[in-house]
Amino acid sequence: MEPIAVKSGGFLIDELITTSMKCWFAQENIMDESLSESERLQSAIRAQELNNRRNQLIRAIDQKSGDASPSPSTKSYHTYFEKGTKK
């Protein structure tokens, strides 16, 4: 995978959109009660990884565009798997 620093702005935006969609689908799987606990856990891990990549891409786009203000970059999914927590 090519380092973020050498990617064009357009490529970064394209990758951000793709990563955001993958993250959204992983988040949907976390809440899908028809999946096993193991599958949901794997989806939570994948969502965290994708969200991390998404944040990196947002920061890179901010830098390339000259935006000095930091973008929000935190989100956690761990509470979905705490015992006793139901929707």
Which domain covers residue 55, as residue numbers?
A: 4-65
Residue 79 in domain: no
Q: How far is CA 79 from CA 9, 10, 35, 82, in A?
A: 34, 35, 17, 5
Residue 32 lies in a domain: yes
Residue 84 inside a domain? The answer is no
Pick the more confident residue, 81 or 61: 61
Among 69, 47, 45, 44, residue whose Cα is nearest residue 58:
69
The reply to whether 76 falls in a domain is: no
- Supply 80's token pair: 């979905």
Residue 72 placed within a domain:
no
pTM of the model as a whole:
0.71
In a domain, 71, yes or no: no
Q: What is the pLDDT of residue 87?
A: 46
Specify if 19 maps to a domain: yes
User: How many domains, the chain?
Assistant: 1
What is the average pLDDT across 1-10?
77
Instruction: Say what the alpha-carbon torsion angle 36, 73, 87, 79 is, to the nearest 10 degrees.
Output: 70
